[in-house]
Amino acid sequence: MGKEAQVLNVGIDLGTSRSAISASNGEKFVVESFVGWPVDMVAKKVLKRAVLIGHEALSNRSMLDLHRPLERGLLKEGSEKDVEAVRELLRHLLTLVGAKTDGSGTTRAVVGVPAASLRTNKQYLRNALKGIVDNLMIVSEPFAVAYGLEALLHSMVVDIGAGTTDFVVMRGRYPTEEDQRTLTTAGDFVDDQLMKLIQARYPEAVFTVFMVREWKEKFSFVGNPKSPVIVQAPVRGVPTDLDITFEMRSACESLVAPSIETMIDLISRVEPEFQEKVRSNVILSGGGGLIPGFAAALQKGLDQIGGGKVKALEDPVFIGSDGGLLLAQDAPDSDWEKLTA
């Protein structure tokens, strides 16, 4: 086998809530971005594992010291465990697609991160991947999405994730800092708002942020409700129906105004003759883009500046990692940095 054949290219979308990987051998996986270590001897005995990742970590969280490596678009660098969590998560993703993480193969990885993280966490990410991959390219998430869709010229990607909403304007070249924006009003912010609103209306009901997130993912909407949103939570131990229609709407709509404002600000900086093209080529991606009515609300916002078109991606899970993989396959050697262990 030639040297070329042994190179594995991967695109990784390192997300606050989910991380996805697409590899040149055709393998793809998505895992929830949670890493947990058994809290004590009993937990170790029950779990029989040194570390749990993704859904497994979430569903066993009562026995774990649970870490979510990203928050508000930044990799947490506070504790050693947070640093270790990123490394474990990346290693896990690479192992899932069959990459050799012991230095015996050659792996080239394009990693998409929130734009804010691109500015502050690059070195940290390099360290986390040392000895695991050979060549690295770190790009912003919305750029990876744009690349994957080949929306490279006069387009805008709005990626609503859990930790951040990221924007990029594509000008037919690698985007610069000025072409991108990050807001921390995103999915986690909605969860937080929804939690507070429901607590205020039903002070005796007990529920967790995990339940609130599930309710949101099932019943989210902006604009006029199609039907009432009814969920169940215990009130003094009794499972009780709660109508949260109004709360759901307000929490989801809290993302609309900041997104429109940022979209308009970015578009107003585009060369005047291309603004209309960009306005009519806005792509909404990320889990938050699945909120029914959201694309229409953004599109309505564009009426203030002459109108436009916003298209939501129906299945955004692998768009970022697929885009990263495509970049990995297209990029010349000079665009890569070499990681030496």
> Which residues here bind ligand ATP, judged by CB under 6 A?
15-18, 70, 114, 141, 161-164, 186-188, 213, 216-217, 220, 286-288, 290-291
3-state secondary structure 93-122: HHHHCCCCCCCCCEEEEEEEECHHHHHHCH
Please, what is the minimum distance in Å from the beta carbon of residue 124 to ligand ATP? 15
Please, what is the minimum distance in Å from the beta carbon of residue 98 to ligand ATP? 23
Distance CA 143, CA 110 (A): 11
Distance CA 248, CA 216 (A): 7
* Residue nearer to Mg ion on the CB measure, 183 or 229: 183
Q: Count of residues for the chain?
A: 341
Distance CA 64, CA 85 (A): 13
Which residue is listed with tokens 């790009």?
139
Each residue 126-155 as x (binds Mg ion by CB under 5 A) or -, in order, gives ---------------x--------------
Q: Which residues of 163-191 are buried (b: 16+ CB within 10 A; e: fewer)?
A: bbbbbbbbbeeebeeebbbbbbbbbbbbb
* Residue nearer to ligand ATP on the CB measure, 63 or 162: 162
Q: Which does 287 bind (CB under 5 to 8 A by kind): ligand ATP, Mg ion, none?
A: ligand ATP
Please, what is the minimum distance in Å from the beta carbon of residue 115 to ligand ATP? 10
Interface residue with Mg ion, options 148, 161, 288, 293 (CB under 5 A): 161
Each residue 103-122 as x (binds Mg ion by CB under 5 A) or -, in order, gives --------------------
Please, what is the minimum distance in Å from the beta carbon of residue 117 to ligand ATP? 8
Q: Which residues, at least 6 apart from 97, have a Cβ–Cβ distance to it below 8 Å?
A: 8, 10, 21, 23, 25, 27, 28, 29
Strand 153-160's sheet: what is its strand order? 180-183, 165-171, 153-160, 282-285, 310-312
Q: Which does 154 bind (CB under 5 to 8 A by kind): Mg ion, ligand ATP, none?
A: none
Please, what is the minimum distance in Å from the beta carbon of residue 286 to Mg ion? 5
Interface residue with Mg ion, options 11, 15, 175, 301 (CB under 5 A): 15
Q: Which residue is nearest to Mg ion (CB)?
A: 161
Q: Which two tokens stand for residue 33?
A: 């971005």
The residues that touch Mg ion, with contacts defined as CB under 5 A, are 15, 141, 161
